[in-house]
Amino acid sequence: MSRRASLAVSLLLGLLTLLLLWVFAQALAQQPGPRLAELAATELPRSAVSNPVTAVLLNYRAYDTLLELAVLLAALLGIWSLGAASPGYQPAGPALEVMADWVVPLLILTGGYLLWVGAHAPGGAFQAGALLGAAGVILRLAGHQRAGLPSESSQRLLAVSGTAVFAAVGLATLAFGAGFLTYPPDWAKWLILLIETAATLAIGTTLAAAYVGGQPPENPEGVRSR
C-alpha cells in the first residue's frame, strides 16, 4: 500500500474511531438498566452452578458453547487436512527436559483444579483446557513430536469427545422430553461436570494438536519413555 493511501486510511480510521467513541458514549447513556445481570443472578440457583459465568456458558447459553467446541474441532480438522506436521524442533537440552518434567504435571494438576473450581469460582473447562494445551506446547518444544498426545486415532476420539458428549447430552435431554440441552434439575450439576470434563480434554488435545500443526506422525521419534 502506498504511503498516500495508507495516510488516507489512517485519517479515515481516525474519524471512524471518533465516531465510534461518540456512539459508545451514547449507548452507555441510553441506560438500558442492568441488562441481563440481574436476571442471570436470580436464575443462578436453578442453574446448578454458583459461578455465574459458568452458568451462562454451560447452562443459559450452552448451545453457544456447543457450537464453539465445534468451531475448535473444525479448525483442527482443517489443520489435519493440510497434511503431515513438520518435524518440529531439535530435542531439548537437559535443563528444558527437567523443567518439562516439573512443569507439565503441575499444569495438568492445575488444569484439574480449575475444572473443579469452575462451578463456583472463576475457572472452568476453557481455562483448564488451555492449561492442558500449554502442557502440550511445552512437551512439543521439549522435542516430543506429538506434544505428548497419543496416536492419531486416539487424538481424534479425544478431540471429538468434548463436542460429542455435549451434543449427546443435548440429544438425550431432548429424547427424554426436556428439550435440547435442557438439564433435569437433579442431574444438572453432574451433567455439567461431565460436559466440562470432556470439554477440558478435548480443548487441551485440540490446542496441543493444533500447535503440532498437521497430522501427527505415526511413530514419533524422540518420544521419551517415562
Partner 1 sequence: MTAQFLFGGAGLVLFALGIWSFLVHEPLLRKLIALNIMGSGVFHLLIATAERGDLPPDPVPHALVLTGIVVAVSATALALALGRRLEEEDPDG
Partner 2 sequence: MDSLALAIGVPLIAALAAAAFPARAQALGLAGALATTVASLQVTALVWQQGSLRSEPGGWGAPLGLALQADGLSAALIAMTALVALATAIYASGYFRPGNRPREFWPLWLLLWTALNGTFLAADLFNLYVNMELLGLAAAALGALGGQPAAVAASLRYLLIGLLGSMTYLLGVALVYTAYGTLDMDLVAAALRPGPVAGTAMVLMTGGLALKAALFPLHFWLPPAHANATAPVSAALSALVVKAAFYLVLRLWLDVFTPLVTPAAAHLIGLLGAAAVVWGSWRALRAERLKLLAAYSTVAQIGYLCLFFPLLQATPPGTAREDLLAALVLMALTHGFAKSGLFLAAGLVQQSAGHDRIKELGGTAQHLPATTFSIALAGTALIGLPPSGSFIGKWLLMTSAVQTGQWWWIAAVMTGTLLAAAYVFRVLGQAFNLEPTPRRFLTQGRTELPALLLALTSVAVLGLAARPLWQLLQPGGAA
Where does this chain bind partner 1 (CB under 8 A)? 1, 6, 9-10, 13-14, 16-17, 20-21, 24-25, 28, 34-37, 40-41, 52-53, 55-57, 60-61, 64-65, 68, 71-72, 74-76, 78-79, 82-83, 86, 126, 203, 207, 210-211, 213-214
Instruction: Round to whole Å and give the CA distance between 48 and 56.
Output: 11
**Rounded least distance, CB 222 to partner 1, Å:** 21
Instruction: Kindly determine how many residues on this chain lie close enough to bind partner 2 according to the rule CB under 8 A.
Output: 54
Q: How far is CA 25 from the centre of its chain?
A: 33
Using CB under 8 A as the binding rule, whether residue 18 contacts partner 2 is answered as: no
Residue 3: CB atoms within 10 A of its CB come to: 7
- Minimum CB distance to partner 2 smaller for 32 or for 94: 32
Task: Select the span of 15-23, 97-105, 121-129, 192-200 touching partner 2 (CB under 8 A).
Answer: 15-23
Nearest to 129 by CA among 165, 159, 90: 159
Instruction: Give, as ranges, the residues between 119 and 158 that touch partner 2 (CB under 8 A).
Output: 153, 156-157
**The only residue of 52, 53, 60, 194 in contact with partner 2, by rule CB under 8 A:** 60
Q: What does residue 215 show for φ and ψ, rounded to 5 degrees?
A: -60, 135
Instruction: Round to whole Å and give the CA distance between 34 and 41.
Output: 11
Give the three cell numbers for residue 132. 492442558
**The only residue of 2, 34, 86, 90 in contact with partner 2, by rule CB under 8 A:** 34
Contact between 87 and 145 (Cβ < 8 Å):
yes
Contact between 66 and 170 (Cβ < 8 Å):
yes
**The only residue of 7, 12, 77, 106 in contact with partner 2, by rule CB under 8 A:** 77
Q: Give me the 156-185 binding string for partner 2, x by CB under 8 A, dash otherwise.
A: xx-xx--xx--xx-xx--x---xxxxx---
**Rounded least distance, CB 30 to partner 2, Å:** 5
Instruction: Round to whole Å and give the CA distance between 89 and 216.
Output: 14
Instruction: Round to whole Å and give the CA distance between 65 and 166.
Output: 9
1 three-state secondary structure: coil
* CA dihedral sign of residues 68, 72, 77, 82: positive
Interface with partner 2 (CB under 8 A): 19-20, 22-24, 26-28, 30, 32-36, 39-40, 43, 59-64, 66-68, 70-71, 73-75, 77-78, 80-83, 153, 156-157, 159-160, 163-164, 167-168, 170-171, 174, 178-182
